[in-house]
Amino acid sequence: MMKNIIKLTLATCLIVSVNSCSDILDNSGVAGDSQPTQFLTADQLEKASETNLGIPAAFVGGIYSQMIQTGSGGSTSQTDFGHKSYDLFSDMLSGDMALSVSTYGWYRADITEFQAPLDYTRGSNRQVWRYYYRIVRSANTVIQNLGGNDAVPELVSNKYAMGQAKAMRAHSYFYLTQFFQKEYNASEAILPLYTEPTGGNLPKSTASEIYDLMESDLTSAISLLEGFNRSAKNEVNQDVAKAILAYVLGAKGGRDTEVATLTQDVINSGAYSMLSSDELTTTGFADASNPSWMWGIDVVENNGLGLVSWWGQLDAYSYSYGWAGDYKVIDKTLWDAIPADDARKAQFLNNPASGRNLQPLKKFFASGTIGGTSITVTADYVYMRIEEMYLLNAEANAKAGNDGAAKISLKALLANRIPNTAYVDGLAGQALKDQIYLQTRIELWGEGKSYLAMKRNKATTVRGTNHLSFVGDPIPYNDERMQFEIPLDEIQNNPFITDQNQ
């Protein structure tokens, strides 16, 4: 544990040098401010690497540290705490997560009332844009230092660093495409495509160009990460790179057989096992050592997380808004769709008189006491579980017309969720696809995957009765309210971008 703390501390020091609080263009992809004097350039990093071969790997660790860094979206908002910030954004946009009580106001206007997707001056747009472009910028610095986009480093450790950096660049562009484009349209210009850490403003590239880069990066990462045995689950290994590529191809559409192959490869690796029925309501979602977790981070006291964190927003067992009066709960209609004999039904409080009805009190909990006993968060962050691969595999096979394989994966997941999976045998075609989509929403609730599944399945969501706004309104996946706006800063300061995406 101490070794990991030291490693993350070093990485944080390195990354802070690259990403100061005053950066916009130089470190986040948003136009505007000048380069800070404390910026660690690629030239400086290269010179340091000549005497310390561990520098590139440590710098990759710095990228991971940004994933949990408060303020990494460039704001002082208590919704700004790294990648998990946008898991919450997307869960609420999808409607599967309801804000049932709003005492402090976080998320209510910008997200649940859709003000950010309809107004480019709202701060949440800038948070999303800035955070993912900061990761892109940092990844580009590592890639350049290791020889550039086309290089294959000679040192094995540097190959692994290059593979991780390319995977993280693709991961960030993937979320940018999901948040800033309604649906895949190859010819639509949607985002600036930065592949170097330095340079001026760029115009929007087309979706096809950005998806091509993601596919190239991830294909390269999969090759470079062959044989990589990571020291902790916060690092991207070959399986995680394959999973990200599966998500990219799934979002693009028309590549279902490849998605099925990639996800089956991960399943067949044997490195992970699905949560048992007991773990669904006990230890499955707060400990990175769980064998179902493919990617996540072991949060320690040294990380300095507290109220401004994913746990601080959602979890009633932390010193949190989830305890104090901003309740995030499962959509009532979705909860009603969970059979009474499904083990996942018990993850949510069923007590309408409590005021906390349908909070995930048995899915996410960081302590044994409502309100918690400490303001310091040490419960872990999950980014990806093996269950996602079974569900994505089932979805891809069903879309490819391979219903038999789809049923095998779906039933494998449900075997530890419900007492009898025989009903799956009678499903086919659209009915099977619909069931896989429903099970994805149930299984992965609160983990930031509902929005991605909604877009892949071109679904229309209808908010249940426990939402505070837009109850009963059908909202299709490609509605204007499901897409963030290019932020005001970029429109003002990048002369090549003057309009919003369609």
Strands 381-385 and 326-330: unpaired
What predicted TM-score, i.e. pTM, was given to this entire model? 0.92
Residue given tokens 């996946």 in the structure block: 477
The C-alpha angle with vertex 241 and arms to 59 and 97, in degrees rounded to 5, equals: 95
**What is the 3-state secondary structure of 250-264?**
HHHCCCHHHHHHHHH
Tens-digit pLDDT profile for residues 315-357: 999 999 999 999 999 999 999 999 999 999 999 999 999 999 9
Amino acid residing at 451: Y
Q: Quick one: average pLDDT of 113-125?
A: 98
| Cβ atoms < 10 Å from Cβ of 105 | 11
Q: What is the mean pLDDT of residues 399-404?
A: 98
* CA terminus-to-terminus distance, the chain: 48
Report the distance separating Cα 366 and Cα 116, nearest Å.
Answer: 30
- Give per-residue pLDDT as tens, 346-391: 999 999 999 999 999 999 998 888 888 778 999 999 999 999 999 9
Confidence of residue 47 (pLDDT cuts 50, 70, 90): low
Percent of the chain topping pLDDT 70? 89
Q: What share of the chain is helix, strand, coil (3-state, %, to 5)?
A: 50, 5, 45
pLDDT in tens, 165-213: 999 999 999 999 999 999 999 999 999 999 999 778 999 999 999 999 9
Model confidence over 228-246: pLDDT tens digits? Answer: 999 999 999 999 999 999 9
Which of 142-156, 208-222, 392-406 shows the lowest mean pLDDT across its residues?
Answer: 142-156
Amino acid at 421: T
Query: Does the pLDDT value for residue 33 go beyond 90?
Result: no
pLDDT in tens, 245-257: 999 999 999 999 9
Q: What is the mean pLDDT of the chain?
A: 90
pLDDT of residue 455: 98
Backbone φ, ψ for residue 157 (5° rounding)? -60, -35
Per-residue pLDDT band at 75 (split at 50, 70, 90): very high
Contact 366, 227 (CB under 8 A): no
**Contact yes or no for 196/141 (Cβ under 8 A):** no
Strand partners, 462: 474
pLDDT at 198 (0 to 100): 78
Per-residue pLDDT, 23: 32
How far apart, in whole angstroms, are the C-alpha atoms of residue 215 and residue 108?
36
Q: Which pLDDT score, from 0 to 100, does residue 31 have?
A: 38
Q: pLDDT grade, residue 129 (50/70/90)?
A: very high
* pLDDT tens digits for range 7-21: 343 344 444 333 322
User: The dihedral of CA 247, 249, 254, 255: what is its sign?
Assistant: negative
pLDDT, residue 342, reads: 98
Say what the pLDDT of residue 49 is: 54
- Residue at token pair 């484009």: 181
- pLDDT at position 48 is 56
User: If you ran DSSP here, which 8-state letter would residue 190 be given?
Assistant: E
Question: Three-state secondary structure along 210-267?
Answer: HHHHHHHHHHHHHHHCCCCCCCCCCCCCHHHHHHHHHHHHHHHCCCHHHHHHHHHHHH
